Structure 1
Amino acid sequence: MSDELGRRRIGRVETGSLTGRYPRLIGKNARLGDHGRGPVSTTVTVETTDGLRGWGLAGAVPGPVERFVGRTVGELFDPVTGVVDPDARALDLALHDLAGRALDLPVHRLLGTAGPQTTPVYDGGIYFSDLDARDRPAAGVVLADVAEDATDGFAAFKLKIGRGHRWTDPADGLARDVAVTRAVRDAHPDAVLLVDANDGYDLATTLRYLDATADCGLFWLEEPFVENRSDLEVLRRWRDENGSSLLVADGETCPDVEAVVALAADGLVDVLLMDVIGFGFTAWRSLVPRLAGLGVASSPHAWGELPKTLYAAQLARGLGTVVQLEAVPGRVDGLDTSAYRFDGRSLGAPDLPGFGLPEPGSGPGTRWRDLL
């Protein structure tokens, strides 16, 4: 495989953009203000001198792209490990796509296809919309958002909690968090429910919330507080004493990755969440085998930009250990994602070269309901 990439030389590197569109204004979480109506993402396309092209989100503009022209693909990328030149980190996804196309292999095959064909997926777009509709009960406003996303086929939902961290009185915020959680569970008794505090709780508030929602069958609790061993040990004891199967997910926000891995190795964190782009696709390839050896699950953070979910689906099928995929409701202008299959509860990566995503063009792009 490396011989094929070693003979192909880069002739051009182009940057571009994609416009994402959420189904509604996505509001606040525990730490941040409104998330808007959709992001504009930077893309990068790498073209070889013989006209083969690969593209992907870049995360950030990859600096002067001329420095890559004339180099071989093999100098920047190894199909067994990923990007090998640190200067090419912003090309991570584009090079994976290009390598898959050059070798006529889906990215998950480059990674080993060690995971299942499909992976559970949840709707990550349920934020604090109630805070902008103060004349209506919090639960009713959030239930409307859940119902809207359910029309796209979603049967699993992650609810943001932590309203009292900056937006309301702490006691009122916790009461709203509990009311919303219970209302969604009552309205969707068969749904998978996850909750995410974005480090907006302390330990005492976390335990009060869990006591009040113990019968709601939550799948995971994400970032309840800034990760630290002593508080996580208390949370572990609460889970053990209550016979709870609740998973603790962490590692998204500015993580000390080695410290989080150590906490996971000791059974204090169950699912690691570093971002699929910010942490890196290549970095995930290196980390997952370690996690598998420790019996630790993963769920690469994918909020914000819809293609990130599709990249995470390739990681899941390629490497395994991914317990949930985070989905971004809405669409991306001009992006055809129809090769990916979604059944409401799980998402499958296609058996097409690269990421199986045509280069963006014109048109409205596909929505999640179009993948059903």
Structure 2
Amino acid sequence: MDNPRIIAVEWTTLEGRRPRHAGSNARLGAHGEIVSVPLARLVAEDGTWGFGRCRASLEDARQIVGRRLDDLFSPTAGAKGPGLAFDLPLWDLAARRENRPVYALAARSVGRPAPTAPFQVRCYDTSLYFDDLHLADTQAAAELLAQEAREGYARGHRAFKIKVGRGARHMPLEEGIRRDIAVVHAVRATVGPNCPLMLDANNGYNLNLAKRVLLETRDADIFWLEEAFHEDVVLYRDLREWMAAQGLSVRIADGEGQASPSLLAWAREGVVDVVQYDIFSYGFTRWLALARQLDEWGVYTAPHHYGGHVGNHVSTHLAAAVERFAFVEWDEASTPGLDASAYVVEEGQVHVPAAPGFGLELDLERFAHAVRQGGFTATA
């Protein structure tokens, strides 16, 4: 059956857990150990099905039940119309129906050849949060974060993102800035000179603080500075000019949160080097279209996704369609009922399975139980 109807939508939330408690960032309090993974499973009338992260409502589900797949998904453009609310499940379903990985479909949609197996994508450890706020001593704090980086290195990571901006909310300003700098130096000393380091201030700096931190960590060779302060093209131009005068090659990254509507214009202009719209809220389909523009502009693609677990895996498939894909953000977690064991991080690369769909497996019995306990089902 080439164009089946969707006859059922099942939705629920599974609960996952990180290997350790995640602390604060410049804006927010502790992120904890628990990750929430909302999932929808779409069943077609020929018995094929696909699933993926989804925050659609019961009303959204009723809008697609009974509709044919071609009304909701295009092989060349992705999800469309009411199918956009089920973006990832539709990609998974379409790929499973072809018995191919999503990355093959994504590459085809932009006219690129599918990667040959084994397909690998660069990733970074995103777990270096403010886990040190209970410590009074800056050296002890730096050693704690260095130890966490060491753990990430042992798990296969060779690139690391460090949260900075402790002085924005959680510590006195000067003390927080000094600790940020000490942590960066400690992590660099631990992981060696060849691992890319990124800094993420979550808008916790101003222009002058950003300059100070970059100047005092210049020997750490920072790859990018993310959300240094809320997007402002005047300040970003100033920062670029200053970095050029200082001989710094740090890239400006932004777009994760409530990004300025002008962000893409600034990227096209060359003011912003890395665009980071969230892979879930922006969507896989929209990212495919955007990434083509970013490639044309010479801008890096690096989707954000922290806290959703499966964003680790979804982002790898986008990379197959993007020339200037920078890194997958890797938020280590495990979720009972969701088998992601086919993905392996080794020497800074995610090994992406060539299995159908996103290469994730769903425990249907556990999922059905969770649907009954706190989800919903819509049927034709």
Give the secondary-structure state (helix, strand or coil) at the position aligned to 2:325. Answer: coil
Which residue, out of 99, 102, 121, partners 1:104?
99
| Equivalent in the alignment of 1:324 | 327
Q: Which has the higher mean CA deviation after the structures are superposed, 344-353 or 276-285?
A: 344-353
| Equivalent in the alignment of 1:253 | 257
| Equivalent in the alignment of 1:366 | none
- When residues 23 and 238 of structure 1 are mapped into structure 2, their CA distance, relative to the original with a 3 A threshold, is same
Shift of 1:241: 1.6
1:151-170 → structure 2 map (5 Å cutoff):
151-170=154-173
Q: Distance in 2 between matches of 1:135 and 1:267?
A: 40
Unmatched runs of 5 consecutive residues or more in structure 1: 364-372
| Equivalent in the alignment of 2:377 | none
CA contact (8 A) 2:231 2:259 kept: no
Q: Distance in 2 between matches of 1:48 and 1:207?
A: 55
1:71-150 → structure 2 map (5 Å cutoff):
71-85=67-81, 87-112=82-107, 114=112, 117-134=119-136, 137-150=140-153
Q: Distance in 1 between matches of 2:364 and 2:146?
A: 35
Q: Which residue identity is paired with 1:317?
A: A
- When residues 177 and 62 of structure 1 are mapped into structure 2, their CA distance, relative to the original with a 3 A threshold, is farther
| Equivalent in the alignment of 1:370 | none
Percent of paired sites with the same residue: 36
Q: Which residue identity is paired with 1:47?
A: V
Shift of 1:338: 2.8
RMSD, matched Cα: 1.9
Kindly indicate which of the two structures has a greater share of residues assigned to strand.
2
CA contact (8 A) 1:335 1:361 kept: no
Deviations 1:225-282 (A, max 9, x none): 111111111111122122222111111111235x111111121111100000011111
Shift of 1:294: 0.7
Matched, 1:194 2:190: no
Greater RCO (Cα-Cα under 8 Å, separation 6 or more): 2
The number of aligned residues is: 357
Shift of 1:153: 1.8
Shift of 1:154: 1.6
Output the TM-score relative to the length of structure 1.
0.91
| Equivalent in the alignment of 1:234 | 238
1:221-370 → structure 2 map (5 Å cutoff):
221-257=225-261, 259-360=262-363
| Equivalent in the alignment of 2:178 | 175
Matched, 1:45 2:41: yes
Q: Which residue identity is paired with 1:54?
A: G
- When residues 203 and 152 of structure 1 are mapped into structure 2, their CA distance, relative to the original with a 3 A threshold, is same
Q: Distance in 1 between matches of 2:225 and 2:133?
A: 22
CA contact (8 A) 1:118 1:317 kept: no
- When residues 162 and 121 of structure 1 are mapped into structure 2, their CA distance, relative to the original with a 3 A threshold, is same
Q: Which has the higher mean CA deviation after the structures are superposed, 35-44 or 56-65?
A: 56-65
Shift of 1:40: 1.9
CA contact (8 A) 2:121 2:352 kept: no
Matched, 1:34 2:35: no
| Equivalent in the alignment of 1:367 | none
Q: Which residue identity is paired with 1:186?
A: A
Shift of 1:302: 1.9
| Equivalent in the alignment of 2:13 | 17
Unmatched runs of 5 consecutive residues or more in structure 2: 367-380
Output the TM-score relative to the length of structure 2.
0.89
Shift of 1:64: 4.8
Q: Distance in 2 between matches of 1:18 and 1:133?
A: 34
Q: Distance in 2 between matches of 1:197 and 1:25?
A: 20
